[in-house]
Structures are given as C-alpha cells and as structure tokens.
Structure 1
C-alpha cells in the first residue's frame, strides 16, 4: 500500500489526548482517525451524506473493521489518512485506508460496509447510481458539473442551496436574500452525480467591463471540498466570455481567506449588510 494508491486524503495532527503511556498513539485511535477521514471521502464525492442516503433509499452500516499496524505515530506527528473504495459487491462496500507519516505507511485498514434499509437494517443491493459514483471517483473523473444559465432554468436549484445557507443557517431575512436582480443575472449551479444542487453563485453586470459575483453558497457538509472554487471559476469564465476585464464581489469577512486564495484583493474598508460584516474584493480577469 502506497500514497499513490489514494486520491482522497485527510490530514490531522496527533494530539496529547491520543497518546498512551508509551508516548505513542493508542491503537484504538487509528479507527477514529479513519472515521474522521470518512467525511472527507464523502465530501470528495460531492455527496452530502444524510441527504444522499435519503435520495438513495438506504444507509450504510459497518460490518467489519480490521487494522494492521506497521509503525507507531507519535505526539505532534502530521498524519495523512487515505481512503479508497476497493470493491463494491451486491450489497457490500470494501473501503481501504492507509495512515501515512510522509511516505511511511503506519497503519493499513479495511472496512466492510453493508448497504441496508435504515428502518429494518436488512441488507439491500447497492444502488447503481452509488456504484457508478465510486467507480468514477476512483477512476479520477469529476464528481460535480457546473451548469451556467438564466434564473428560469436554474432558479429552483439555486434557491434551494441559497435558502439552506443564507436563510436557514445564517438567519438572513428571505426578503433580503431574494431580489429582482436574479431575473437578469447569470447563474451557476453545481450538481453532483445524483443531480443534487450542492453549490451556486450569480454574476451581475456591475459596470461596463466589470462583473459582480455574489450569492456564493455551498452545501454546508461539502465546504472545504473545492466546490466553491469550481463555482467561482465558472462565474469568472462567464464574465470573461462577455468581455469583462475585472470581477468584483462583496465577501463576508469570514470568507476573506477563500477569495484571497482565489486571487482576490481587498478594496476599501469592511461594512455591514444583514448584520454580517462584508468586505469588497476584486481581481483582474
């Protein structure tokens, strides 16, 4: 087992509470490390776990977990936990894990899951859609696709994501979140391989040659998976296609680092909107 066998990794640092009297990681914590990394795997598949299981009509349950110890992790080690789906049977899934310190394999593991009816916990066949998603991901394929268009076509999906993020999560009043600019904006919706909308944003014509990006929202469970960046790049492509030379946006201050990594720079001082501090940012296209 090598690092190159894995496409998905979760990085963590060994904490004081996880080492034993021998000053090495207590053996049971390695399963916790793998379970922690599991959410990154679902995030990489662009599948918000709970909603996806509802859509698929089942849930997955651990049947068997085995670990093989090759070397010990120590306090303050940076570990990379790799996960991959090695096999999909009729009703079972075999996921393999590798815990690495640099290139050194410390622990290898296998977890057998069973897809089952959540009400009776009796097994049922793995849905073809989920089977195809695992195969596509491990083959290196894209897990979500950006759709660009008008509100008439994308409005219901965009509104679903925005309602969950801005109204339900952040408490922004609905009459502020929804406005008349949606009708003339260019919208981008990112859909996963189940057809579920997982991220969105819109592009306005702020001034000649200048596009204004806004209403950027990503499904909460999928943040940190690169999906917001994919929406942002699709909006920038749309701005370039119509001849814009610059993109401007009003970012929530807590998202400042995300936009800075994408090449945006602060312009002016912070200000408040809907009770949330914002900052104007821009970049050349």
Structure 2
C-alpha cells in the first residue's frame, strides 16, 4: 500500500477515473454533479491517491472552508474495500488538514459509512439529508 498527494494532471485523471467508477457508475450519481471547480490542480484543494499493489484504487480531497478542513470525494474501488485503505485516505487527508492549520475536519458521509467514520473519531452533527439521491449525514472531528 502506498499513498500520495496528487501533483500532476496524470495522477488527477487517475483520481477522476476512480471517482467516476464509484460515484457515477456504481452509485448512479449524475456525472455533472461529480466534477466541480475544485477538480483542478490550481484550485485550493489537495487531492490524494491510495495504491494497492501499485494500482491506484482510492482517492479523496481536502480543502479549507471557514478555517475547517472539508474532506470530500472519498472513495475506493469496490473490490479494494475492507483492506484498511479507507482509513489510509482519511489519515492522509487529516495530516494535510493539520499542515493547513486546521483544528477540525468535517465531511458529508454516506449513512452506510457512518460507522466507519465514527471509528476514526468523527461525530454525527446533523439529521440525515440527501445528496445526489444518497442519504448522508454531516460529521466532524476535532484534532485537539
């Protein structure tokens, strides 16, 4: 397993490919909602990739919003779930957040993944709401 910060367009395209497979193909999110103004190497976002046996299998991104780190677009290809790789993505995004000076992280977690995030120290801070037809909850974690 290897994880890295995305630094070039080729790596970013690998992340896009993973996101398309997970969010658009598997979960049926509209493609026009999946990609946005933060999907650019010049945006105020840091994107990451996680590899398994040298194959890119997971991704996520983090950006600062009102002094907090917002973790977004976290996903793993279906066949690589349950190997601890999701935790690796979150750990790297949190490290980046701390380097940005953030003391708190927030995310919109799909309700089926709520327990996963709770194990990593996240607390649910909202009722269930829908994003792209999928139930989500807002979750936060303090780094202090």
TM-score computed with the length of structure 2 as normaliser: 0.92
User: Any stretches of 5+ residues in structure 1 without a counterpart?
Assistant: 1-143
Offset at residue 150 of structure 1 (A): 4.5
Q: Which residue of 2 aligns with 1:169?
A: 26
Offset at residue 269 of structure 1 (A): 1.2
Say which SS state the counterpart of residue 146 (structure 1) adopts.
strand
Q: Which residue of 2 aligns with 1:192?
A: 52
TM superposition outliers: structure 1 runs of 4+ over 4 Å: none
User: Any stretches of 5+ residues in structure 2 without a counterpart?
Assistant: none
Say which SS state the counterpart of residue 259 (structure 1) adopts.
helix
Could you tell me how far apart the structure 1 residues matched to 2:85 and 2:52 are? 10
2:126 maps to 1:268? yes
Match of 1:257 among 115, 118, 121: 115
Number of matched pairs: 140
TM-score computed with the length of structure 1 as normaliser: 0.48
Question: Greater relative contact order: 1 or 2 (C-alpha under 8 angstroms, separation 6 or more)?
Answer: 2
Question: Which has the larger Rg?
Answer: 1
Give CA deviations for 1:119-165 in whole Å, capped at 9, x if unaligned.
Answer: xxxxxxxxxxxxxxxxxxxxxxxxx1111135635311111111110
Provide closer, same or farther for how the CA distance between residues 153 and 246 of structure 1 changes in structure 2, counting only shifts above 3 A: farther
Q: Which residue of 1 aligns with 2:89?
A: 231
RMSD across aligned positions (CA): 1.2
2:63 maps to 1:204? yes
Q: Which residue of 2 aligns with 1:159?
A: 16
Say which SS state the counterpart of residue 39 (structure 2) adopts.
helix
